[in-house]
Amino acid sequence: MSLDTVAFALAAALMVGGALGVALTKDVMRLVVGLGAFLLGVAGMFLYYGHAFLATAQVFVYVGGVLVLMIFAIMVVHRANGRPVLEARHDIGAAAIGAGVSGMLFMTLRESVGGWLPQSGTPGGPIAVELLGRSIVVFELAGGLLLIALVAVLVIVGAGERR
Amino acid sequence: MSALVLCAAVFGLGLYVVLTRRELIAVLAGAELMLGAANVQLVSFASMSGVPGESAQALALMVLVVAAAEVGVGMAIIVTLSRRSARSRTDDLQEVNG
């Protein structure tokens, strides 16, 4: 078994394990830990494809930012409600829909891919040239979107406080 | 092919979470699962189809940014709802105030 296969298997195990944790747990903090494991697995998958910049951004933005934000929100909600945050309502119909969509995705896209293990990608060095060159408009639009989201958060929270 | 199987399975798990959970935070986590799976699939397809790595990274970065913005706004809505009515469940949200 080559090192590439091991790296892919590790990242895939993190992704699936984290996703299963999110789907099955009743404890809200375990849900966040499961989501963190999943996001680290996604970062590992980016590394596997040779996109180190993307993996770094994933860890900084998600594991360092979004998860902390979720924990703060859980602290506020849990304190306000004074009860466990999660309820389990597993449903065979929803499981069938989820499995059906997974199968549909696989059956639809399986002709588009080659072998079982993909080739490693290119190094992430030229990403700056791409972002500040050909993709500069999209890059600026993404910055604008983040600014709009920030203002929207302030407006939503401010409106909630005024009431 | 293995990446496709993995991402399809995780996407299905995310959809299952969105359909079965009642709490908004868990629903948001399910949406994050689906976004993450789609992003990995995007990078995987780009790698297999010969798209330049930097283009794939730029596109995946945009998805990351949109997902981060979505989480920020979602958390603001959850916190505001919990302050107003001590509720953060999807079943309790049956009307919108325009």
Same domain, A120 and A130: no
Name the residue of chain B whose CA is nearest to A63's CA. Answer: B68
The answer to whether the complex's ipTM is over 0.85 is yes
Q: What is the mean pLDDT of residues B25-53?
A: 86
Contacts of A120 (CB under 8 A, 6+ apart): A4, A48, A49, A50, B47
Same domain, A92 and A151: no
Q: What's residue B36's pLDDT?
A: 92
Give the torsion sign (CA, A8, B21, A62, B61).
positive
Same domain, A50 and A69: yes
Same domain, A29 and A9: yes
A126 touching B (Cβ < 8 Å): yes
Same domain, A100 and A117: yes
Same domain, A68 and A142: no
Q: What's residue B88's pLDDT?
A: 65
Contact A35 B88 (CB under 8 A): no
Domain that holds residue A154: 126-163
Q: What's residue A16's pLDDT?
A: 92
Q: Calculate what percentage of chain B has a pLDDT beyond 70.
A: 85
Candidates A51, A150, A160; nearest CB to B57: A51
Same domain, A103 and A162: no
Cβ atoms of B31 and B53 within 8 Å: the answer is no
Contact A70 B25 (CB under 8 A): yes
CATH number at residue A60: 1.20.120.1200
Q: What's residue A83's pLDDT?
A: 55
DSSP string, A29-49: HHHHHHHHHHHHHHHHHHHHT
Q: What's residue A85's pLDDT?
A: 57
Q: What's residue A162's pLDDT?
A: 63
Domain count, chain A: 2
Which ranges constitute the DSSP H helices of B21-52? 24-48
Cα A136 to chain centroid, rounded: 24
Contact B64 A91 (CB under 8 A): no
Lowest-confidence pick of A38-42, A103-107, B91-95: B91-95
A122-147 tens-digit pLDDT: 555 677 777 777 778 888 888 888 88
A2 touching B (Cβ < 8 Å): no
Contact B80 A156 (CB under 8 A): yes
Mean pLDDT, chain A, rounded, equals 78
Given pLDDT bands bounded at 50, 70 and 90, which one contains residue A8?
confident
Spatial distance between the Cα atoms of A101 and A106, rounded to a whole number of angstroms: 9
Name the residue of chain B whose CA is nearest to A35's CA. Answer: B29
State both tokens at A66. 């979004």
Same domain, A140 and A159: yes
B38 touching A (Cβ < 8 Å): no
Q: Calculate what percentage of chain A has a pLDDT beyond 90.
A: 10
Q: What is the mean pLDDT of residues B42-58?
A: 79
Same domain, A73 and A138: no
A101 touching B (Cβ < 8 Å): yes
The residues facing B89 across adjacent strands are: B23
Query: Pick from B20, B51, B49: which is nearest to B33 by CA?
Result: B20
Q: What's residue B52's pLDDT?
A: 73
Q: What is the mean pLDDT of residues A100-124?
A: 62
Contact A86 B26 (CB under 8 A): yes
Same domain, A105 and A139: no
Region for B51 from its dihedrals, namely left if φ exceeds 0, alpha if ψ lies in -120 to 50, beta otherwise: beta
Q: What is the mean pLDDT of residues A98-117?
A: 67
A121 touching B (Cβ < 8 Å): yes
A17 touching B (Cβ < 8 Å): no
Q: What's residue A37's pLDDT?
A: 92
Contact A69 B80 (CB under 8 A): no
* CB count in 10 Å sphere of residue A109: 15
Q: What's residue B80's pLDDT?
A: 82
Chain A residues in contact with B40 (beta carbon < 8 A): 15, 42, 45-46
Residue B86 has pLDDT above 70, yes or no: no
CATH architecture classification, B2-90: Orthogonal Bundle (1.10)
Spatial distance between the Cα atoms of A141 and A66, rounded to a whole number of angstroms: 20
